[in-house]
Amino acid sequence: MSGGPRRVVLLHGIWMVGLTLRRFARRLEAEGYAPEIFGYPSITGGPDAAVEGLLAQLRRGGPAHLVGHSLGGLVALQALAQAPDVAVGRVVCLGSPLCGSGAAAALSRLPMSRLYFGRSADILLAGCARWPPGVEVGMVAGRVPRGLGALFARFEGAHDGTVAVDETRAPGLADHVVVEASHSGLLFSSAAVRQTAAFLREGRFAR
């Protein structure tokens, strides 16, 4: 198989657990990859603890690609920015608000908003658009506007119900593609899996 390592470490988003990635992982396995799921407490632990755990897992198993859904993509990129020496192939983000989340910003103005995001609030508000030179990062965004985020954020343009497509664009991305899926639907989308596998193999999405 071209495209570097077979090993792929997957990271879930906020309010989710590792089990939510099972189906995506099985489909990547059918594409010839060896997926591993990295679970972390997205509310009580926060990105710093997640980064530490992710780096420990990466260093135990050798070179790997990374695939992160939503907050998971931000955690993956923060880990690479913090430890550029770690052996990573390519990175695919699924609906990650690299430019900051408008829905999170809207929710942050509500009373007791920290209960919604816990220790992950800051990274969701700011985004994480930096990663080491030479690391190829691809973004799969959704444009089915179905999700609770649309109740709080006033999206302009296409969005997946939680994250605007424009929030997924950042300078330095190797490629960007939009598929017919909602934010959570990216985890169950055949098109998202197919595009992820294509980017891991070739460094670009299928057209």
> Percent of the chain having pLDDT more than 70?
88
Q: How many domains does the chain have?
A: 1
Q: Is residue 207 part of a domain?
A: no
Q: Is residue 24 part of a domain?
A: yes
Q: Is residue 118 part of a domain?
A: yes
Domain ranges, residue 120? 7-202
Q: Is residue 2 part of a domain?
A: no
Separation between Cα atoms, residue 106 and residue 151, nearest integer Å: 10
Residue 59: its pLDDT value, please? 96
Separation between Cα atoms, residue 177 and residue 192, nearest integer Å: 9
Q: CA triplet 101, 206, 67: central angle to 5 degrees?
A: 45
Q: Is residue 1 part of a domain?
A: no
Q: Is residue 159 part of a domain?
A: yes
Q: Has residue 1 got a pLDDT over 60? A: no
- CATH code where residue 182 lies: 3.40.50.1820
The overall average pLDDT reported for the chain is 89
**Residue 86 half-sphere exposure toward CB, CA atoms < 13 A:** 26
Q: Is residue 25 part of a domain?
A: yes
Beta strands in the chain (DSSP E): 7-11, 34-38, 64-69, 88-94, 136-142, 175-179
Task: Give the pLDDT confidence of 72-128 residue by residue, as tens digits.
Answer: 999 999 999 999 999 999 999 999 999 888 777 676 666 655 556 666 667 777 877
Separation between Cα atoms, residue 110 and residue 116, nearest integer Å: 10
Of 17, 42, 55, 183, whose CA–CA distance to 121 is shortest?
42
Residue 117: its pLDDT value, please? 62
**Residue 121 half-sphere exposure toward CB, CA atoms < 13 A:** 14
Task: Give the pLDDT confidence of 163-206 residue by residue, as tens digits.
Answer: 999 999 999 999 999 999 999 999 999 999 999 999 999 999 99
Q: Which two tokens stand for residue 201?
A: 């193999």
Q: Are strands 64-69 and 88-94 parallel, antiparallel or unpaired?
A: parallel
Q: Tell me if the pTM is above 0.85.
A: yes
Burial 114-141 (b: 16+ CB within 10 A, else e): eebbebbbebbbebbbebeeebbbbbbb
Give the confidence band of 40 by pLDDT, cuts at 50, 70, 90: very high
Question: Distances in Å between the alpha carbon of 188 and those of 73, 128, 184?
Answer: 17, 25, 8
